C-alpha cells in the first residue's frame, strides 16, 4: 500500500540509529513504526510538528510534496458547502452503524489500513471531517486504527473542530493559524503531536525506503502499463458477468450465422472513452455510449473495447457470422413507406427489419450514475421499449445491461422471446453488466477497458460465467424500502434491513435475489461449450473452543480492528462442492447464519463465500472460519459486541434464497 499524499523521508537514517542507506522501511509492524516515528518527531518543535500536517508542508528530514487531494475551493457548483445545514446528514442508530457500515472498515483496519478519507456530508448532524465520535471515538478508539485521516475536497467548515475531531492532515489551516490556535488554547499541543506521529508512522510502516521512493517529477510521464494486464482485465471482466436468464440454453452461442446489434451501449459513441468528471450536475440516467464506469472520482480508461469492436474482431477472424447494427435506443421500429419500384424499391432501416433478419439479437442498454448526482429512476422507459421492440420481431433476444446499481427489468423479462439476460454493476465508480436472454440471461461487473471482449467471451462460451448478484433485483420499485433523500436530514429508518435482509423480513419475492447467478450446463452434445451444474453436501460444524461456556462480550485489549477476542475463531464450517455437469466451471458457495430470536437480527446474514473452480466430476471442500465477530450483534446498552446465547441456523446455498444444506447450532453464554 503506497500513499501519494505523504512527504518522502530523506535523511533520517542516522536519526533512526541505522546505517545510511539501510533503512528498515517498510516496517509492516505498527509498534516498530511508532517507535521509530517517536524518535523522529518528538525532538521537533511544535511548529515543525504542525508543519507536516498542512498542505505542501515540510519538516526536518522531509521535502515538500504534492498531494492528490485536499482543501480546494468549489467553484460554480451552486452548492453552499460552507453552510453545514446544506450538507446532507446521514442519521442512523448505533447498531446499524456498527453491524452494517463499520463492518468493512473493521476488515480494513485489521489488515493494516494506513489512511482514511473523512466524508464531506454530516453524520448524525455533525460534519464528517469534524466528527469526534466517528473519527476518534469509533475509528481510532474502537477499531484501533493506527494511521491518519485526510479530508474530502470540501474539508471541515470549522478547521479547529476538524483537528480536534481526528482529522490529521490538510485541515485547511496554515502553520501560523495552527500556532495561533495552540497559543489561544483552541488546540492542545498534544493533538498536533499525535497527528505528526500518525503521519510519520504510517509512512514508515507502509512505504519503501526513501532511496527507493520515486519523486513525482520522475514518474509523471512514465509508462507503467504492462501489456499482459489487458488479458487479466479481460478475464476479470468475463468472470464478473452474472448470467440471470438462459432460456432454451441459448448461450453459449453455437456457430451463429447472423447477429443483430441494438442500442447505444454497444459502441463507443459521442465522447469518451469514459464519462467526463462532473460532480455537480445531473448527467441523465443513461450514458450515450458503452458504459464501463460511473462518473466521479475514478481513473479514466486509456482505451475501451466496445462490444461492437469485439464482435467485429471475432467476425473478421473467420467465426462465420455477419452482423447488422442500430446504435440507437429509439430508432424507427417499423419501416417507413417504401419508395421506388422493383429493383429500386427501398424502405429504409428499421428495428423490425434487422430483428427479423437476425438469428440472435443483442440488445445493449445501460443505467448511469455518478458522484454528486444520483440516478433518479430504477428503470429507463426508452431502454425498456427498445428491448420489447426488438423482442417482438426476434425469436432469440439477448439483453446485456451495464448499470450503476439496481435496474428493474420487469417491463420485458417475461417476454417470450427474451432468452438471455446479463447484468453488470459498478463497484465504487465502476459498472456492472447484467445479461438477459430472450430465451436467456448474463450479468457483468467491472470489465473496464476490455469490456467488449469480456462480454463476447461469455456469449460464445470461451468463459463459463460464475459471478453472482451483489444486490436484489425487485419486481417493482415499491418492493424496496429505501427512500430517496435529496436534502438534508436523511434518516436511515430501514436500519439493518437493507437489500436481501429487507426482502426476507418482509416476505417479498424478488425477481432475482442477492447472490443469484447461473452458469452454463451440459446439454449432452459433444464438442459443445455449455454451462454446468453443482451440488453441495457434507455440511459439518467443528467448534474451535467450548461453545457451551462462551463469554457474551468481546472484552479483549484493543488491537487493529477492535477487541482482540472479536477475531477469535469459534467455529469452522465446511462442506463439499461437486461439479455434476459436463464442463468445467466455478461455483460460489455462500454461507448464511440465522440468529436466535433474542438477538432481533435479520432472518439470515451472509457470513462467508468461497469460489471454487471444478472440472467435470470433480469435488472440492470449502471451509469457512467463523469468528466471534460473525456470531455477534452490537449491544447499544453496553456499547460492546455481544454473542446472544441460543440456537443458530447454518445454511449453505447458491444464493440468499436457494439453500442446499442446513444445520443448527446452539451457543451457550455464561
| β-pairing verdict for 646-653 and 585-594 | antiparallel
Which has the closest alpha carbon to 321: 334, 305, 310? 310
| CB contact set of 468 (below 8 Å; sequence gap of 6+) | 242, 515, 516, 517, 588, 590, 655
Q: Hey, which residues does 572 pair with through a beta bridge? A: 542, 625
Which has the closest alpha carbon to 624: 596, 589, 585, 670? 589
Prior bond to 252 cis, omega within 30?
Answer: yes
| CB contact set of 191 (below 8 Å; sequence gap of 6+) | 163, 164
Q: Is 142 helix (H, G, I), strand (E, B) or coil?
A: helix
Pick the catalytic residue from 152, 479, 523, 565: 152
Produce one character per residue of 436-446: b if its CB has 16 or more CB atoms within 10 Å, e if not: bbbbbbbbbbb
Q: Is 449 helix (H, G, I), strand (E, B) or coil?
A: helix
| β-pairing verdict for 242-246 and 440-445 | antiparallel
On whether the CB atoms of residues 467 and 239 are closer than 8 A, the answer is yes
Describe the strand order of the beta sheet including 89-91 as a list of residue ranges.
126-127, 122-123, 89-91, 489-491
Query: How far is CA 460 from each of CA 60, 306, 369, 392, 463, rounded to the nearest angstrom?
Result: 61, 16, 29, 24, 8
**Diameter over CA atoms, the chain:** 95
On whether the CB atoms of residues 213 and 6 are closer than 8 A, the answer is no
Q: Is 341 helix (H, G, I), strand (E, B) or coil?
A: coil
Which has the closest alpha carbon to 240: 432, 373, 67? 432
Distance (Å, whole) CA 19 – CA 133: 42
Helix axes 229-239, 451-459, angle to 10 degrees: 50
Which DSSP category does 583 fall into? S
Distance (Å, whole) CA 99 – CA 94: 9
| β-pairing verdict for 89-91 and 432-438 | unpaired
Active site residue 152: yes
Q: Is 599 helix (H, G, I), strand (E, B) or coil?
A: helix
Q: Is 528 helix (H, G, I), strand (E, B) or coil?
A: coil
Query: How far is CA 555 from each of CA 506, 546, 638, rounded to the nearest angstrom?
Result: 35, 17, 11
Q: Where are the beta strands (DSSP E) in 283-396?
A: 322-326, 360-367
> Where in the sequence numbering do the catalytic residues fall?
152
Amino acid at each position: 500500500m503506497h500513499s501519494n499524499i505523504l512527504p518522502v523521508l530523506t535523511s533520517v537514517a542516522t536519526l533512526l540509529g541505522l546505517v545510511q542507506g539501510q533503512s528498515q522501511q517498510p516496517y509492516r509492524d505498527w509498534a516498530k513504526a511508532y517507535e521509530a516515528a517517536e524518535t523522529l518527531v518528538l525532538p521537533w518543535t511544535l511548529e515543525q510538528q504542525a508543519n507536516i500536517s498542512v498542505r505542501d508542508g515540510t519538516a526536518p528530514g522531509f521535502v515538500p510534496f504534492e498531494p492528490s487531494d485536499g482543501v480546494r475551493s468549489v467553484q460554480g457548483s451552486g452548492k453552499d458547502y460552507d453552510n453545514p445545514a446544506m450538507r446532507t446528514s446521514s442519521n442512523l442508530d448505533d447498531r446499524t452503524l456498527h453491524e452494517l457500515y463499520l463492518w468493512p472498515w473493521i476488515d480494513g483496519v485489521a489488515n493494516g489500513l494506513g489512511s482514511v478519507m473523512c466524508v464531506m456530508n454530516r453524520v448524525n448532524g455533525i460534519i464528517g471531517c469534524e466528527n469526534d465520535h466517528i473519527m476518534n471515538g469509533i475509528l481510532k478508539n474502537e477499531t484501533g486504527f493506527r494511521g491518519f485521516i485526510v479530508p474530502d475536497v470540501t474539508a471541515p467548515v470549522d478547521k479547529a473542530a476538524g483537528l480536534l475531531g481526528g482529522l490529521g492532515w490538510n485541515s485547511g489551516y496554515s502553520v501560523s493559524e495552527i500556532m495561533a490556535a495552540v497559543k489561544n488554547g483552541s488546540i492542545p499541543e498534544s493533538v498536533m503531536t499525535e497527528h505528526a506521529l500518525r503521519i510519520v508512522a504510517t509512512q514508515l510502516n507502509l512505504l519503501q525506503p526513501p532511496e527507493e521512493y520515486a519523486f513525482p517529477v520522475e514518474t509523471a510521464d512514465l509508462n507503467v502499463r504492462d501489456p499482459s494486464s489487458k488479458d487479466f482485465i479481460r478475464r476479470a471482466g468475463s468472470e464478473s458477468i452474472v448470467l440471470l436468464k438462459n432460456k432454451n440454453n441459448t448461450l453459449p452461442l453455437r456457430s451463429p450465422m447472423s447477429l443483430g446489434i441494438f442500442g447505444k451501449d454497444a459502441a463507443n459513441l459521442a465522447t469518451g472513452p469514459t464519462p467526463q468528471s462532473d460532480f455537480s450536475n445531473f448527467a441523465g440516467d443513461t450514458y450515450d455510449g458503452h458504459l464501463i464506469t460511473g462518473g466521479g472520482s475514478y481513473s479514466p480508461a486509456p482505451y475501451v473495447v466496445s462490444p461492437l469492436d469485439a464482435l467485429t474482431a471475432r467476425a473478421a477472424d473467420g467465426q462465420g457470422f455477419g452482423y447488422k447494427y442500430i446504435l440507437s435506443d429509439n430508432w424507427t421500429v417499423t419501416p417507413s413507406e417504401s419508395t421506388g419500384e422493383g429493383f429500386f424499391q427501398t424502405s429504409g432501416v428499421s428495428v423490425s427489419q434487422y430483428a427479423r433478419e437476425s438469428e440472435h439479437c443483442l440488445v445493449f442498454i445501460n443505467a448511469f450514475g455518478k458522484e454528486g448526482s444520483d440516478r433518479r429512476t430504477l428503470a429507463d422507459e426508452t431502454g425498456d421499449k427498445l428491448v420489447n421492440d426488438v423482442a417482438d420481431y426476434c425469436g432469440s433476444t439477448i439483453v446485456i445491461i451495464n448499470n450503476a446499481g439496481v435496474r428493474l427489468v420487469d417491463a420485458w423479462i417475461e417476454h417470450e422471446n427474451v432468452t438471455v439476460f446479463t447484468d453488470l454493476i459498478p463497484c465504487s465508480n465502476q459498472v456492472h453488466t447484467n445479461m438477459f436472454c430472450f430465451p436467456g440471461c448474463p450479468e457483468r461487473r467491472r470489465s473496464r477497458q476490455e469490456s467488449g471482449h469480456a462480454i463476447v467471451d461469455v456469449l460464445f462460451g470461451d468463459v463459463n460465467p460464475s459471478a453472482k448478484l451483489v444486490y436484489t433485483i425487485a419486481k417493482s420499485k415499491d418492493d424496496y424500502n429505501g427512500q430517496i433523500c435529496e436534502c438534508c436530514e436523511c434518516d436511515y429508518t430501514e436500519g439493518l434491513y437493507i437489500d436481501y435482509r429487507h426482502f426476507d423480513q418482509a416476505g417479498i419475492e424478488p425477481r432475482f435475489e442477492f447472490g443469484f447467478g447461473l452458469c452454463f450446463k451440459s446439454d449432452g452434445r459433444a464438442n459443445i461449450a455449455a454451462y454446468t451444474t453443482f451440488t453441495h453436501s457434507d455440511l459439518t460444524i467443528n467448534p474451535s473452543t467450548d461453545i457451551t461456556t462462551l463469554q457474551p462480550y468481546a472484552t479483549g485489549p484493543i488491537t487493529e480492528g477492535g477487541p482482540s477476542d472479536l477475531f477469535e475463531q469459534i467455529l469452522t464450517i465446511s462442506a463439499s462442492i461437486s461439479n455434476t455437469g459436463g464442463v468445467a466451471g466455478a461455483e460460489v458457495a455462500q454461507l448464511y447464519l440465522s440468529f436466535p430470536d433474542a438477538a432481533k437480527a435479520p432472518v439470515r446474514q451472509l457470513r462467508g463465500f468461497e469460489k471454487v473452480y471444478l472440472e467435470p466430476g470433480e469435488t472440492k471442500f470449502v471451509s469457512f472460519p467463523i469468528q466471534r465477530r460473525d456470531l455477534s450483534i452490537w449491544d447499544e446498552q453496553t456499547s460492546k459486541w455481544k454473542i446472544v446465547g441460543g440456537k443458530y441456523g447454518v445454511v449453505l446455498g447458491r444464493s440468499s434464497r436457494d439453500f442446499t444444506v442446513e444445520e443448527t447450532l446452539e451457543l451457550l453464554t455464561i
